[in-house]
Structure 1
Amino acid sequence: MELNPGVPAMLCLGYDTALEIMRRPETFSKDPRHWRARNEGVLPEGSYAPHIIRPRPQVDFVDGEEHRRLRGAIEDTTGRIDSAALRNYVERIADSLIDQFCEAGEAELIGTYCALVPIMVSSQLFGCPQEIMDQLLRGVASFIDGSDPSGGDRTSGAALRELIDLKRREPGADITSWLIAHPARLTDEELIEQLLLLIGMVTGVVPGLIGNSLRVLLTDERFSGELMGGSMLVEDALDEVLWTDPPVANMGLYFPVHDTNLAGKRLRAGDAVMISFAATNRDALLRSPHKQGNRAHLAFGAGPHACPGRSSARLIASVALEKLLDRIPDLVLAGEIEELKWLSGIFVRGVITLPVRFAPVARPGGRLTSAPPARPGEPDQRQDLPAGAPPPPPIPPISLPFATDAASEGEALMGPGPELEQQAEDRQKQQSSLLGFLNRWRRAR
């Protein structure tokens, strides 16, 4: 197959074959410096895939001791995240976003919820001020939609350099500060690459995990009649999606370091072999077909290069789903499933539209202002509040509690944070800037 026109690769579709590749780093390298087509200069200039899969000091593109050093720094750093505090923060973000649309009786959940939860959480995780995050997201969007990978590199790199400089001056209890202070002593270029990988995971992949899982919950008859079933329902839906519709559908580009035979095929040294996680998970030859609770899927990879942020990604997604279904348990898809639009590129796949209807729910401390919007062919029964009735209280804004105290050993990433005291207009400005990223994300092809 071709990754892009003129960019050849072998595509791995078998589950056992994929595991063999990922678990044999002595034969199959992740380092693009082994890519024969690149070394022979035959790849078309400006192609998207070769720009993304290129030699760079990122943990996903190196092997051996260099990989162990970078991987150790990432695991030590992300291992300091307080899971209970992260859960609490995701709940606060989710509640604040749900407050924005719960009374309307309808919403488009990708733009108002699924993408915004992980984007706002990542600001806290990495101690990233809004203005830097805005710039960074513009670069991440270019990676996702493939519109300008070179420009995305420059934009993301400039934003991350600014963040690193800030955290050197004002270290905090956040991933960026901890990664800077790690004994591995990462260079600035290494810091930029690891942060780009981690932030890209949260802001570019987790939205797809939440959105794809909501689609399953709303449309699969095994789930759609039981939305009040509790957290196990959510965990089952996540497992289902990670098997059947993983947000990273294809990635895992490997290069044999010498000529070899694999699954009956002869591979030359330096051939590009891409693993399709979506296909391998659906392998008809699987000895144990996936079931609820079975997490042997390959959605997060396997072997030494398995995704380092998978536990936090799953936690963010599960809490966001649980909170939404707890607040609005009667969600139904507004329209036909065939009408949903998908982001479907080389590497990622996910729904980019998810319109829903539901019975309006009052905000905490507020009053319900209208009935649900009418369905096609039904009379509109919405009514405004009686004249003279007090308006509902303002939506409580949320302030991102950026950490500014120096991080000490064992210090939790996130405590209770400050009170929700930021002015509503500040919050609206923040959401408006984030939606600029979402608009580009939706236009991707």
Structure 2
Amino acid sequence: LSHDFVQSFHLDGEGLWIPTYDGGLNFLPSDQFDSPEPVFRHYRYAAGQSGGLSSDEAEVAFRDRSGVLWVGTAVGLDRFSPFGKKFATSHLAATPFSQNDPVTALCLDPEGRLWAGSRGGGLYVLDPETGRRLQVFRHDPGNPHSLPHDDVYGLLIDRRHRLWVATYHGLAYLEPGSLEKPVFHSFDRADGLPYGFVHGLYESDKGEIWIATYGGLSRLHETPGRGFVFENFSMDDLPPRALVNSTTYQLTQDRFGYLWVATYDGLSRIVEEEDGGVWFDNYRHEPGDPYSLQENWINVLFRDSAGRLWVGARGGLHLVRQKESAQRADFQVFGLPEGLPNETIHAIEEDQQGYLWLSTNQGVVVFDPAAADDPSLPAVIAHYDQSNGLQNSQFISRSSCRDGEGWLYFGGISGFNRFQPGQLRRNPHAPSVVLTE
């Protein structure tokens, strides 16, 4: 026991709960009842940390019919839900992140290592299962082959297994197998980038690297003898070669092979001609049109396993509806009326059952795509927040990934979470209906 002054007992199907005067809450699992040396679990108050007891002076404990454990302490009533407590939180620094040091980018390499970008802390290589740091890369002003900047906003492993890094001060790539003596090959505006602040990276089905920057979009041409050549596009080009906006964030490819570009002020679809020419089919919010974008600030794009294209904006989740490649798209919108707790969608991943996991400014939401075809189905089937063990309820745009075993990773302002969706328990007990005057 953590303390000899026992306040009370509560026996449930899992074991014996023992509140103490100054030692918090003790738990003895039922399989330890007959042990000559029983092992107790201790739950204590920890200043500044969420998820623990509100005080070490625990007086009473009780588990209700839904499985929730209630603990009365000297300062209040604590509630612990067994549902959704499978979120592992990792921090890149030795201490938890502050709001000025979030996890801004995540990806996994072919060797199973997790790469995590931060704002101000550089680039980290981690063991995904434990969160242990394997290596850290930071900018060194005296080394031209170091990371270009310690603010990292995007990561990409291309088909040649090169790691591409989008930073606040340019683009860089790292050859595979060079971790012991890393050499970052860097590019900035002097090399042809449209802008130094790079937000996102995407490799198309053709193997072309596309680069989303604060000041335009770029297609990287890699040719023998000429090296790398940047072909740039912006909103200042003559229509129809003009982007909807030059502040670009991310790209992805739809089931027809077209690339879509997320921007600060709308959405662009890239149409490539047979001669290699490019023009843009642009989309913005149209007042009075319920099938247009409902918000022009686009955070994230995601193509699911069924080929559907989803758009995460600051005004909800949008499904791109387009039956034929030549048809102009419209949008089906999901927001607060459909059950979302928050309409700012930061990142999207799909689990092995086909559900979409959305990170927002109020936690992580599980979304059922079937609701797009059947309005009678609930669109949101689960919602998790900081009380379920998330690093924070606020997440970072485009900071997510999924590994080959189905584990999902989401980066936020206080670290990142790793979890296996199939291991999360959802509460099967509906709340009781109580009639009041």
- Tell me: higher relative CO, structure 1 or 2? Use CA pairs within 8 A at least 6 residues apart: 1
Per residue, is there more strand in 1 or in 2?
A: 2
Fold conserved (TM > 0.5)? no
TM-score of the two chains, using structure 2 as the length reference: 0.21
Per residue, is there more helix in 1 or in 2?
A: 1
Question: Which of the two has higher C-alpha Rg?
Answer: 2
